Amino acid sequence: MTAEEEARRLDAEDPLPTLRGEFLVPPAPGGRYAEAAYLAGNSLGLQPRSVAGRLREELDDWARLAVEAHTRGRRPWVDYHELLREPAARLVGALPHEVVAMNSLTVNLHLMMASFYRPAGERTRIVIEDSAFPSDSYAVASQAVHHGLDPAETVVRLKPRPGEDNLRTEDVVAFLEREGGTVALVMLGGVNYLTGQLMDMPAITKAGRAAGAVVGWDLAHAAGNVPLRLHDWDVDFAAWCTYKYLNGGPGAVAGCFVHERHVRDASVPKLAGWWGTDPAVRFRMDPDIAPPASADAWQLSNPPILALAPVLASLEIFDRVGMDALRAKSERLTGYLASRLAGIGARVLTPPDPAARGAQLSVRVEDAGGAVRRLAEEHGVIADAREPDVVRFAPAPLYCTFHDCHRVAEALAALG
């Protein structure tokens, strides 16, 4: 049996058949394969076929009803975001009143830090990982400046041990035990965007909170990728985008989690806007806000309906399949790809332990940008580059297949 035949056999026999047919997959050049092997869902997820119909329905309601669609539409706009609440809560392991769909990821992180980063006395530092996504680095540095602090002294960038690519949980915990009295906020990425490392969120959250710090998570690469239990882990807050593994479309409306103990605490300061007042009194137009005891209290403006519709369509798919089943398939796909990459001698940065990684393998390749262009143009394999020498492959389990992973290994071997 050839390697390609083996990959097709694995696809045919997998306990969770691919849902690829429910997504629009870009064509592949060259004619050998009709569709691309799309492993860039950690950058932008594919479009669900159901999205176009959902958008047409909202456009039709706008055309037929105009402003009255806020209350008379098929899915009335005035409380449209409520439709996303329960599926989003199930996705991230939260209580429904702890989550809200709003804004973009970095806006939500700033709103969370406005409430929960409260430097005082010696407790001023913010802990992130050294390889954090740049937006997180910019955000925490600007928060330090906003409080009159020097980012060079305030922001702690945790680095792996010399010669290693990933943080060790015991090193993060040891730092918090040793220096936690100076830490106001721990805000790491749940899955590191560069290496694909899945952080031990329960252990780090426990250590951070034991040290007296607030613990928040950037779940841009974790939501829709790995099972989450934010409420049970006692996370203070979290935020995530929905255009990567969640397939919500470019720049889609993000999500936010605030633990129940905070949403019920009226003393927590927050930046306010119209949509953050209790909907029961919102249209009385009172000058004083009456925030509800939910994550909705952090909303600022009414949400963009045409941007929420694709997110809702995608969340319905996740709800139908379930994160546990998707995670199991993700481990099978990523494990198969890891074995194929090992067979061609690829230099993989991502942890080898399946429990310590999400649906991503990062490979060191000289001239990463040029390699990604050749992969796409010559082999129909779509991945993404992080200069100067990292190519990221994300076998998203909703639509990627073992055969896609086979094509990645064959294409990388052909690059030489």
Q: Is 336 annotated as a binding residue?
A: no
Q: Is 33 annotated as a binding residue?
A: no
Determine the Cα–Cα distance for residues 228 and 300; give it in Å rounded to an integer.
Answer: 26
CA 109 from chain centre, in angstroms, equals: 13
Q: Is 274 annotated as a binding residue?
A: yes
Determine the Cα–Cα distance for residues 355 and 351; give it in Å rounded to an integer.
Answer: 9
Q: Is 193 annotated as a binding residue?
A: no
CA 87 from chain centre, in angstroms, equals: 15
Q: Is 105 annotated as a binding residue?
A: yes
Instruction: Number of helices (H) and strands (E) in the chain: give both, helices first.
Output: 14, 15
Determine the Cα–Cα distance for residues 384 and 365; give it in Å rounded to an integer.
Answer: 12
Q: Is 136 annotated as a binding residue?
A: yes
C-alpha distance from residue 134 to each of 138, 266, 299 (Å): 6, 33, 25
Long-range (24+ apart) CB contacts under 8 A made by 159-166 are 159/130, 160/130, 165/195, 165/349, 166/192, 166/195, 166/197, 166/349, 166/350, 166/351, 166/356
Q: Is 134 annotated as a binding residue?
A: yes
Contacts for 355 with CB less than 8 Å, ≥ 6 apart: 198
Q: Is 221 annotated as a binding residue?
A: yes
| Residue 287 CB burial class (10 angstroms; 0-12, 13-18, ≥19) | exposed
Q: What is the DSSP letter of 11?
A: H
Rg of the Cα trace of the chain?
22
| Residue 31 CB burial class (10 angstroms; 0-12, 13-18, ≥19) | exposed
Q: Is 133 annotated as a binding residue?
A: yes
Q: Which residues carry a binding-site annotation for pyridoxal 5'-phosphate?
A: 105-106, 133-136, 218, 221, 243, 274, 302
Q: Which residues carry a binding-site annotation?
A: 105-106, 133-136, 218, 221, 243, 274, 302
